Amino acid sequence: MSRSGPLPFLRAAWIVAILACLYLPIVSVVLASLANSRYMRFPHRVWTLDAYREAVGFFQTWDLHLISLQIAAGVVALSVALGTLGAMAYARYDWRGRGLFRRLLVLPVFFPQPVLGLALLLSFTAAGVVPSWKTVVIAHAVWIVPIVTLVISIRLFGYDVAQEEAAFDLGATRLQVFREVTLPALWPGIFSGALFAFLLSWSNLPLSIYTSGPDTPLPVWLFSRVATNYAPLVPAIAVIGTIVSALVVLGLVGLRGALARLR
Amino acid sequence: MSRVHGPWFALPVGLFLAAFFAAPIVIVAWYSLMPPRTFELSGALTTANYRAAFGEGYERPLMWSALGAALTTLVCALLAWPTATILHRSAGRWAGVVTALIALPIFISESVRLFGMSLFLMPGGGILAGTLNALFEVRVGSILNSRLGALVGLVYIHFPFMLFPLLLGVAMVPADRIEAARDLGAGRLAVFREVELPLAAPGLSIGCLLTFVLALGANAEAAILGGRAVTVITAAIEQRFNYAQDWPMGAALTVLVIAVTAAVVFPVLARVPLDRIIRR
């Protein structure tokens, strides 16, 4: 490109600096987990995996993971179901209220999450609903359903409706058209939507913190332990939680690949 | 045919958001008009909570949150603009890898990342201070537990939310338009002001909007990195709800935050062609 711009070296240095800033805190968590003293004094006198051994044997580690997993699974199911239908209304069909629907749909994304969490907490309590992992699913979904709807819609914008009409003309039934034409076209969007839903739910703190009640998801527990009662166990569990989410994503991607090969 | 189907497909999402997004806002607004320290929704309507909000000094946390969000937006925009233009212009293989690397941390919980930030910045035995001390025997101070610390955390968490809409915005600037402006004798500043900025404006606006709104309600940054240096509005609302058991007052503060949000969101969304950005 243009030779008049800043030197290529400067540009590369800028990008490296941005990446370094983004990853330093994450590296710091890993480094902190390799100690065995309750006080953070870097560099550690002893480098050890003790904290991981303790974390794996600690029943609460798996409790936290189970609750986070349960919530994320609920959010994925809810947001894929609602998001697929919503995407049809957003991008596939042309109808009178569509402009308004598109504008209203994005509002939850442009809304401060902790404020949404507090508003939901107040409403649930007023309605006599006791906060639990189920209320977290609802809270996450308010924010994630619009995102998944948009992710699936992006796929649908490139969708040619004529294919469906051609299938009808060739004598296919409504169900056949949906299974053979519409769903395969939607599938990549649904899959990315599900991944987004899982990851966003797994890592969410601001909505969970006010709506989870006694069922503590992983990020909320980490948040509470950062302030008080620090031990290398805390960063170790943070690392384990991140690895587990990466494994789930890799597993899903692998499963999809295997299914595609079977077909 | 399709005109009939559209509303039916929109219905489930519509009902869900009406029940769990619109209704809670209405309930909170109604609570904010109830007599102080009551738990019923049937009391006589009063504006006492709003008057108390400003009488008891709650404008300060609101101001801190708004100021923090504005500064976060500004700093993120200044950092993201060069990043986005560099990534866009060198659209080679590594630009894709770098973009993915920047996106990845969004999916790591913000409690993990902020925790890491505090471990990095911790005075004395933190990662940064400890390393500098061990290698160079330099002792450094720390911005942990200060307003600056909270701001650094806000910028760190919200940077990707600015960058990605901005990348889409920068992609809307045709390269030949810049070349043409240069050929006509425009300087760097003129090209930026007259060509790049207006054409990338939709992406920049969405990035600014997203960053501002998310930072406005942010609580964890101030809690983990700001220590007791600053009380943000979300912390003040939580305190009213939980410890003071004063729901109507907490609701009034919530309504004030929602009002600020709406005042920013509606004008921007009305002007920006969101569909055109999403379609890309």
Region of residue A111 (phi > 0: left; psi between -120 and 50: alpha; otherwise: beta) = beta
> Which residues in chain B have Cβ-Cβ distances shorter than 8 Å to A21?
156
Interface test with B, best of A9, A40, A42 (most B CBs within 10 A): A42
- A31-52 pLDDT, tens per residue? 999 988 877 888 888 899 999 9
| A227/B127 Cβ within 8 A | no
Interface test with A, best of B27, B39, B93, B108 (most A CBs within 10 A): B108
- B147-201 pLDDT, tens per residue? 999 999 999 999 999 999 999 899 888 888 888 998 898 888 888 888 899 999 9
Q: Which domain holds residue B241?
A: 62-279
**Count of H-run helices and E-run strands, chain B:** 15, 0
Buried b vs exposed e over B62-83: b needs ≥16 C-beta within 10 Å? bebbbebbeebbebbbebbbeb
In a domain, B73, yes or no: yes
pLDDT value of position B280: 62
In a domain, B54, yes or no: no
Buried b vs exposed e over A64-77: b needs ≥16 C-beta within 10 Å? bbebbbbbbebbbe
User: What are the boundaries of each domain within chain A?
Assistant: 59-262
Q: B215 and B154 in contact (C-beta within 8 Å)?
A: yes
- A100-145 pLDDT, tens per residue? 999 999 999 999 999 999 999 999 999 999 999 999 999 999 999 9
Distance (Å, rounded) from C-alpha B175 to C-alpha B196?
Answer: 10
In a domain, B3, yes or no: no
Tell me which of B96 and A67 has the higher pLDDT.
A67
A133-157 helix and A59-87 helix, angle to the nearest 10 degrees: 40
Asked if pLDDT for residue A253 goes beyond 50, the answer is yes
> Which residues in chain B have Cβ-Cβ distances shorter than 8 Å to A96?
3, 6
Q: B211 and B160 in contact (C-beta within 8 Å)?
A: no
Token pair, residue B233, equals 């509005």
Pick the CATH number of A59-262 from 3.40.50.10540, 1.10.3720.10, 3.30.420.40, 1.10.150.20: 1.10.3720.10
Distance (Å, rounded) from C-alpha A89 to C-alpha B169?
Answer: 26
Average pLDDT over residues B201-229: 92
In a domain, B17, yes or no: no
Distance (Å, rounded) from C-alpha B220 to C-alpha B262?
Answer: 22
Please give the tally of structural domains in chain B. 1
**What's the full length of chain A, in residues?**
263
Name the maximum alpha-carbon separation found in chain A: 75
Query: Which of B4, B10, B87, B193 lies closest to A98, judged by CA?
Result: B10
> Which residues in chain B have Cβ-Cβ distances shorter than 8 Å to A229?
none
User: What's the CATH code of the domain at B182?
Assistant: 1.10.3720.10
Neighbours of B96 (CB within 10 A): 11
Distance (Å, rounded) from C-alpha B5 to C-alpha A95?
Answer: 8
Average pLDDT over residues A194-216: 93
Q: B95 and A1 in contact (C-beta within 8 Å)?
A: no
pLDDT value of position A9: 85
> Which residues in chain B have Cβ-Cβ distances shorter than 8 Å to A15?
83, 86-87, 98
Lowest mean pLDDT among A85-89, A120-124, B48-52, B126-130: B126-130
Q: How far is CA B248 from the centre of its chain?
A: 26
ipTM of this complex: 0.91
Confidence of residue A155 (pLDDT cuts 50, 70, 90): confident
